[in-house]
Amino acid sequence: MSLDEYTRREFKQVGTRVRRPDGVDKVTGRALYGADATAPGMLVGRILRSPHPHARIVAIDTSAAGALKGVKAVITGADLPVQEDNFIRDVQDNCMARDKALYDGHAVAAVAAVDAATAKAALKLIKVTYEILPHVTDVDIAVKPGAPVVLAGRTLENVPAGMSENVTSHCEFGHGDPEAGFARADHIVERSFRTAATHQGYIEPHAALASVTSDGKAELWCCTQGQFFVRTLCAAIMEMEASQLRVTASEIGGGFGGKTTVFIEPVALALSRKAGRPVKIVMTRDEVFRATGPTVHTSMDIRIGMTKDGTITAADAHLRYSGGAFPCGTVDMGAQAAFAAYDLEHVRTYGWNVLTNRPKEAAYRAPGAPQAIYAVESVIDELCQHFGLDPIEVRLKNAARKGTKSSYGPTFSDIGLVATLEAAKQHPHYCAPLAPGQGRGISCGFWFNFGGNTCVSLNVNTDGTVGITEGNPDIGGSRASISLMAAEELGIPYDRVRTIVADTSALGYNDVTDGSRVTFAVGLATIKAARDAVKKMCARAAKIWGIDEEAVEWKDGAAVPAGPNAGKFPPMALAEIAAVSFETGGPIAGHHEVNVDGAGVSFGVHIVDVEVDRETGATKVLRYTVFQDAGKAVHPSYVEGQMQGGAVQGIGWALNEEYIYGADGRLQNPGFLDYRVPVASDLPAIDTVILEIPNPGHPYGVRGVGETGIVPPLAALSNAVSRSAGIRLAELPMSPPRVLAALDG
């Protein structure tokens, strides 16, 4: 059972702010990112992309491109296999269109040439004959009967009749009888909201180097959050056996969920196979925006009833999410997360996934939750304003606790929401005075967190150091955290442990770095691999001492006799046991393989102060504090970094970031100039308060912390703007023109 892993203990190293193992390489430029990979004879791969949002590909003539001197391979969708499985087919068709181009930027052909100039010239020689089709890029239009159909035949049986064929799936969660609950409310607020699609905005563009040999083996180096999943997808697309394709993940310059699938990797492999030489593809920023995976854009209706003392009597939500041109399940997560922070008797959420002519969405920190929770927390705030109630008190009054049956089904075990709200209430920020024209907003946030398939090896070296091999790219400090947990468990100093991220040939399968799973799940497997090694080291000591294995225990980094009856031997440290291991049975290693359950859910509360310039609509963020339950903060600096990073990305989402499509269906702002992530001067220092309510599902009580932080900022900002400017916006981003228009009524 996964909920009895935790044992209370005093930590010696976990919880300290040790040196980052990757810091020196990153600040000196030595770290090897995706685009740094090279191979002898390497070709440059470039991709031709559709300028049309929706068009039938009538013909592609690659003959002139193929004949150009220096061009070694040209491929189109016809070079890839016909896939039976819907999921794999969607991934493949997103990497290279087959019959239809489904969005502006959709790949339609690719070349590999001896240099970039030749590759660019070759792209211009490819003649694509398009039959332009009507397009739809807005979820509210796409959902209506009669809208242009993006992909036919993908609607699941549970979608009610009468909707557009773009509606591919429906979900419903909740319990009780909402109508009965609404009848008991003193006031009901019902509002509709819209949120724009946003991009993760990772600084490193996607890059891949593929080398396929003539005997069918392949190497792939790429920038990814999950080398094993890349192998699964690419092996299916290339029709290869997993053992023949080795994938190595590079150092990663940001992912945030956006690097959990493939875009260019199968294209590089297919080009390499055809050319017989290594092929590298590096995306431009323009390609990253147009053809990787932004978030869903949404349209939502929220209804919440409350009594005048602040008790929520009922709530429901209708969510319409569009993740672009292919079906996705993100709305299911939004529908489950929407009311997770509340203990509700009557609650119901309904979700619909809708296809539009936009790029296929990818995960982005707590996928689906920020949008739904933005809408819910905005309505809660409006109810607080209506009754003149304190927004934290109302949330405390209705907060989910241990034993609450959640709005999505499971009953919560130990959770940290009440403690987090109490910490926010008592923090100096919450009672600090505001100047006229300033407004303060708060919001709760929630994320499920995830465990998953994990495999770790821990090798005890003869010099007394320890090497850990794990299979998840380090996107948030996991190497330091994993080393810390191993050092803690083994009782040796942190700097004696080094953790490396292995390629797909070195370990069993590891799920993608997602769901805030790595410090939790890989940490758990590391602790258990360390315990496995400890058991073996105790056995070696027993052998040396000539006593039973059961008579030896591990204490402070050394084997010791277990009690007076075991005999009198001085402690034998890890380094001593390791030094003589060749004489006592050979190398010592620990392993652990597991599909981890028991990821503890995580709650956060954010407080923000803003001031709206009533003449320009510009919002200045004055002060920001994040409160979040980390279970156990293994490396507090990294945990704070996650909390701050989530808040900053959420601030961008709330105020300025958006995918802007023109009437022509083309993306208007595929670059960081007009896709506005916050710059440092836009932001105050983001203060953090870490709560530690141990997760029963982890030996040290760890919960994932990577995602929850992006959930509250959207509503926190909207609620603060409402209280600063006296207007309530129901659409994100709250860009200055939109705020000024609202102020002008």
| Length reported for the chain | 745
CA 457 → CA 168, 295, 453, 508, distances in Å? 42, 35, 14, 10
Nearest to 516 by CA among 628, 371, 665: 628
CA 372 → CA 173, 299, 335, 376, 406, distances in Å? 13, 9, 7, 6, 16
1 or 673: whose CB is closer to other proteins? 673
Our finding on whether 735 is near other proteins (CB under 8 A) is: yes
Nearest to 65 by CA among 111, 108, 97: 111
What is the side-by-side order of every strand in the sheet holding 686-691?
438-447, 602-612, 619-629, 686-691
Torsion of CA 7, 8, 12, 18, to 10 degrees: 80
Q: Which of 84, 431, 681, 685 binds other proteins (CB under 8 A)?
A: 681
CA 415 → CA 5, 311, 390, 515, 729, distances in Å? 16, 21, 23, 17, 32
125 or 689: whose CB is closer to other proteins? 125
Angle of helix 713-725 relative to helix 636-655, nearest 10 degrees, comes to 50
Q: Which two tokens stand for residue 543?
A: 């052998």
Q: Which of 682, 696, 727, 731 binds other proteins (CB under 8 A)?
A: 682
Supply the minimum distance, in Å, between the C-beta of residue 613 and other proteins.
9
Q: Are 210 and 41 in contact (CB under 8 A)?
A: no
501 or 655: whose CB is closer to other proteins? 655
Q: Which of 213, 411, 595, 668 binds other proteins (CB under 8 A)?
A: 668
Q: Are 671 and 286 in contact (CB under 8 A)?
A: yes
Our finding on whether 615 is near other proteins (CB under 8 A) is: yes
What is the side-by-side order of every strand in the sheet holding 127-132?
100-101, 55-61, 127-132
Nearest to 656 by CA among 735, 739, 736: 735
φ/ψ of 51, rounded to 5, equals -85, -5
Our finding on whether 673 is near other proteins (CB under 8 A) is: yes
Strand ranges (E), 562-662: 572-573, 588-596, 602-612, 619-629
Supply the minimum distance, in Å, between the C-beta of residue 621 and other proteins.
10
178 or 201: whose CB is closer to other proteins? 201
> What is the three-class DSSP state of 667?
strand
Supply the minimum distance, in Å, between the C-beta of residue 706 and other proteins.
25
Q: Which of 253, 617, 650, 704 binds other proteins (CB under 8 A)?
A: 617
Supply the minimum distance, in Å, between the C-beta of residue 374 and other proteins.
20
Q: Which two tokens stand for residue 559?
A: 């084997």
Q: Which of 434, 566, 618, 727 binds other proteins (CB under 8 A)?
A: 618
φ/ψ of 189, rounded to 5, equals -110, 130
Supply the minimum distance, in Å, between the C-beta of residue 68 and other proteins.
17
Q: Which of 660, 684, 727, 731 binds other proteins (CB under 8 A)?
A: 660
Alpha carbons 14 and 17: distance in angstroms, whole number: 9
What binding mask, one character per residue, do residues 627-656 give for other proteins by CB under 8 A, x or -?
Answer: ----------------------------xx
Q: Which of 676, 684, 696, 728 binds other proteins (CB under 8 A)?
A: 676
Supply the minimum distance, in Å, between the C-beta of residue 425 and other proteins.
32
Specify the stretch interacting with other proteins by CB under 8 A; choose among 170-178, 287-295, 556-564, 669-677.
Answer: 669-677
Our finding on whether 160 is near other proteins (CB under 8 A) is: no
End-to-end CA distance of the chain: 57
Q: Which two tokens stand for residue 58?
A: 């009538």
**327: cis peptide before it, omega within 30°?**
no
Our finding on whether 622 is near other proteins (CB under 8 A) is: no
431 or 679: whose CB is closer to other proteins? 679
Specify the stretch interacting with other proteins by CB under 8 A; choose among 35-43, 350-358, 436-444, 729-737.
Answer: 729-737
Our finding on whether 138 is near other proteins (CB under 8 A) is: no
Alpha carbons 187 and 574: distance in angstroms, whole number: 66
Size of the site for other proteins (CB under 8 A): 22
Specify the stretch interacting with other proteins by CB under 8 A; choose among 98-106, 416-424, 513-521, 665-673.
Answer: 665-673
Supply the minimum distance, in Å, between the C-beta of residue 611 and other proteins.
14
Our finding on whether 685 is near other proteins (CB under 8 A) is: no
Specify the stretch interacting with other proteins by CB under 8 A; choose among 184-192, 300-308, 416-424, 735-743.
Answer: 735-743
Supply the minimum distance, in Å, between the C-beta of residue 67 and other proteins.
22
319: Cβ contacts below 8 Å, ≥ 6 apart: 298, 300, 331, 334, 335, 338, 349, 350, 351, 352, 371, 372
Specify the stretch interacting with other proteins by CB under 8 A; choose among 225-233, 450-458, 525-533, 612-620.
Answer: 612-620
Q: Are 282 and 34 in contact (CB under 8 A)?
A: yes
478 or 735: whose CB is closer to other proteins? 735
Our finding on whether 740 is near other proteins (CB under 8 A) is: yes
Our finding on whether 82 is near other proteins (CB under 8 A) is: no
Helices (H), 248-318: 265-275, 285-291
Supply the minimum distance, in Å, between the C-beta of residue 579 and other proteins.
53
Supply the minimum distance, in Å, between the C-beta of residue 441 and other proteins.
20
Angle of helix 265-275 relative to helix 86-95, nearest 10 degrees, comes to 70
What is the side-by-side order of every strand in the sheet holding 297-306?
167-175, 347-354, 312-322, 297-306, 187-195, 731-732
Our finding on whether 736 is near other proteins (CB under 8 A) is: yes
Specify the stretch interacting with other proteins by CB under 8 A; choose among 8-16, 151-159, 204-212, 670-678.
Answer: 670-678
Q: Which of 678, 699, 709, 713 binds other proteins (CB under 8 A)?
A: 678
Supply the minimum distance, in Å, between the C-beta of residue 468 and other proteins.
39
Supply the minimum distance, in Å, between the C-beta of residue 36 and other proteins.
20
Nearest to 241 by CA among 263, 219, 217, 224: 217
> What is the three-class DSSP state of 331?
helix
59 or 663: whose CB is closer to other proteins? 663
Specify the stretch interacting with other proteins by CB under 8 A; choose among 338-346, 355-363, 391-399, 614-622.
Answer: 614-622
Supply the minimum distance, in Å, between the C-beta of residue 120 and other proteins.
8
What number of other Cβ atoms are within 10 A of residue 366's Cβ?
29
254 or 736: whose CB is closer to other proteins? 736
Q: Which of 161, 435, 679, 685 binds other proteins (CB under 8 A)?
A: 679
Q: Which of 141, 427, 669, 696 binds other proteins (CB under 8 A)?
A: 669
What binding mask, one character per residue, do residues 256-295 give for other proteins by CB under 8 A, x or -?
Answer: ------------------------------x---------
Nearest to 478 by CA among 629, 602, 634, 599: 634
Our finding on whether 616 is near other proteins (CB under 8 A) is: yes
47 or 362: whose CB is closer to other proteins? 47
Alpha carbons 206 and 222: distance in angstroms, whole number: 8
Residues of this chain that interact with other proteins (CB under 8 A) are 286, 615-618, 655-656, 660, 668-669, 673-674, 676, 678-679, 681-682, 735-737, 740-741
